[in-house]
Structure 1
Amino acid sequence: MVKIAVAGGSGQVAREVIDTLLATNKHYIAILSRSEASLKDAPSGVRWRVVNYDDQGDLVEALRGTHTLLSFLQLLSDPEGRSQKNLIDAAIAAGVKRFAPSEYGSAGTINMPWWAGKENTREYLRKVNRNKKVLEYILFQPGLFLDYLAFPYKTAKHVDPLQSVFDYYNGRAIVVDGHEDAIMTLTTVGDVAAIVARAVDYEGEWPEIGGIRGNRVTFSQVIQIGEKIRGRPFTVDNAKKEDLESGTLNTSWALEKRHPAVSEEQYAGFGKTVSIGILLSSIKGACDVSDELNQLFPDYSFNKIEDFLTRVWKGKP
């Protein structure tokens, strides 16, 4: 049994991981949070610690005795990654052995400005380990949550439904014209949480890149599976690459559902930005994640896209 600290532990993905870790009944878990307002939401069996991410001494004290630190800090409000850099410095000072920064998405971040903070953190981790490894770390990268293809239906306990460029409910999709073979990696939230829990228990050294490949499929395959499950042809909007590069989205629809981490002020035009970013980044290989953790845990059986979505959409209008 080791002590695990979870930074940003009140977030949706964090809570999925915490629940899975608690179910193993193996570890002491401490949640680090900026606010006491979330104390009522603390799962039983964990300790809640309010911290100031700008106070190095406070962070070091909170991390004393921690073996593994998992970060789920929100990056939109801190694109420079200052809070996460402070967390890394404090982890090193406190003698934390392992660290996982706030990732849980694509391998690349090109054309995705809302994830700029990830690149800053990746570079900082390389910097602190440049001369010798002072902090073991892993980048958990599962691609896009497969659960989002169930929108508007909720398929995870904590993670809310979100739209994607594949709209199974309305039978429509957006692709980049001529790039229908672009690769998407789609992994369920449950599978991600299960693999993270296994990685926490893993006694060997973590790989720096922690690819989690639930399903590796092309855009056209995702659409074909949708048409089969929904029993009707999809309407496909073909966006021109040159239009997308210029910031233009000439399609009949775009993402409208606001992520809870995005404020009302931030959301103006955000759906369009995310639509363009997902489309452009996917044709540049950002969503084709590696499979290091599949190889590390070869006995784990991932949810297959067609089976999962068939169960979700059975009997749905």
Structure 2
Amino acid sequence: MVKIAVAGGSGQVGREVVDALVAAKKHEITILSRTDISVSDSTPGVIWRTVDYNDKSKLAEALHGIHTVLSFTQLLADPENTAQKNLIDAAVVAGVKRFAPSQWGSASTMDMPWWAGKDKITEYLKKVNENGRVLEYTLFQPGLFLEYLAAPYKTAKHLEPLNTMIDFQNRRAIVVDGYDSIMTCTTVQDLAAVIVRAVDLEGEWPVVGGISGNRVPISHILKVGEKVRGRPFTVEKVKVEDLENGILTTSWKLESSHPSVTGDQVEKMLKTVLIGTLLSSVKGAWDVSDEMNQLLPEFKFTQLEDFLTEAWRGKP
């Protein structure tokens, strides 16, 4: 048994991982939260601790005796990355062995400015270890959550639906003309299950922790979509040069956004996310590596066609 601290553990992905860790019944789990919500959450095996991410000494105190820190802190709400930098510093002071920063997505952030903080934190971790390893860390990267292809239907306990450039409900898609980009799609449940197993690994974590549930070209996703949805998808093509210039001439756009984006920023962010996802896909950002697959060869990932067949069974 080891002691695990989960920062941002009240968020969607964090809660999926916490549930899996609790179900494993192996470790003592502490959730670090800016607000005290322990009264409304009495999950057995979980300790809630209210922290101030601006107070490094108090953070170090909260991390005393902790073996592994998993961070799910919200990047958009902290453009200076203060919370994670202070969390890393506190982890070093407290003698934490392992740290997983808030990654949980693509292999690269190119053309995705809303995730720029990920690169800054990666550089910060490199700097912390530049004179010898002080803090073992890995960048967990599962690609696109497969559950998003079931939008608007919710297929996970905590992860809320988000629509993408492949819209199964309306049988349509937006693709980049001349490209058949590789996408890595992994269910959030598989991600959580891999994290549970990764915590138990005795060797050193790889710096990049790629988790490749399904590595497929977009054309394959569309082929599966047409099979499970019963008829061909309407496909609109956009050009790279238009996307590079911020031009989006499609008949439809994304409609659902992350809860951290509110007010008059929603429409602008949805356009930015769609353009960024399309551009980054043609540059290989969603072609995630498989380091964790290799370390866990016995683990069986949920297959894309099986998941989508079940998710869309009987749906109009």
Give the alignment's TM-score, normalised by structure 1.
0.98
Confirm or deny: 8 A CA contact 2:181 2:218 kept in the other structure. Answer: yes
Q: Which runs of 5+ in 2 are unaligned?
A: none
Structure 1 Cα separation of the partners of residues 26 and 115 of structure 2 = 33
Q: 1:213 and 2:212 equivalent?
A: yes
Tell me the residue number matched to 1:232. 231
Q: 1:107 and 2:107 equivalent?
A: yes
Structure 2 Cα separation of the partners of residues 116 and 314 of structure 1 = 38
Question: Secondary structure at the residue paired with 1:269?
Answer: helix
Query: 1:37 Cα deviation (Å)?
Result: 4.3
Q: How does 1:76-95 map to 2 (within 5 A)?
A: 76-95=76-95
Q: Deviations over 1:109-145 (max 9, x none)?
A: 0000110000000000011111100000010000000
Structure 1 Cα separation of the partners of residues 160 and 41 of structure 2 = 16
Structure 2 Cα separation of the partners of residues 79 and 4 of structure 1 = 26
Q: Deviations over 1:21-69 (max 9, x none)?
A: 0111000000000011464135232111000000011100000000000
Structure 1 Cα separation of the partners of residues 297 and 47 of structure 2 = 33
Q: How does 1:63-82 map to 2 (within 5 A)?
A: 63-82=63-82
Q: Which moved more, 1:256-265 or 1:65-74?
A: 256-265
Q: Which amino acid aligns with 1:312?
A: A
Question: Secondary structure at the residue paired with 2:106?
Answer: coil
Confirm or deny: 8 A CA contact 2:38 2:48 kept in the other structure. Answer: no
Query: 1:230 Cα deviation (Å)?
Result: 0.5
When residues 42 and 235 of structure 1 are mapped into structure 2, their CA distance, relative to the original with a 3 A threshold, is farther
Q: Which amino acid aligns with 2:242?
A: D
Q: Which amino acid aligns with 1:80?
A: E
Query: 1:261 Cα deviation (Å)?
Result: 2.1
Confirm or deny: 8 A CA contact 2:253 2:271 kept in the other structure. Answer: yes
Structure 2 Cα separation of the partners of residues 20 and 192 of structure 1 = 10
Q: Which amino acid aligns with 2:172?
A: R
Query: 1:77 Cα deviation (Å)?
Result: 1.3
Instruction: Report % sequence identity.
Output: 64
When residues 45 and 249 of structure 1 are mapped into structure 2, their CA distance, relative to the original with a 3 A threshold, is same
Q: Which runs of 5+ in 1 are unaligned?
A: none
Q: Which amino acid aligns with 2:153?
A: Y
Tell me the residue number matched to 1:152. 152
Structure 2 Cα separation of the partners of residues 43 and 176 of structure 1 = 45
Tell me how large the CA RMSD over aligned residues is. Answer: 1.0
Q: Which amino acid aligns with 1:250?
A: T
Equivalenced residue count is 316
Q: Which amino acid aligns with 1:201?
A: D
When residues 42 and 178 of structure 1 are mapped into structure 2, their CA distance, relative to the original with a 3 A threshold, is farther
Give the alignment's TM-score, normalised by structure 2.
0.98
Q: Which amino acid aligns with 1:297?
A: L
Q: Which amino acid aligns with 1:43?
A: T
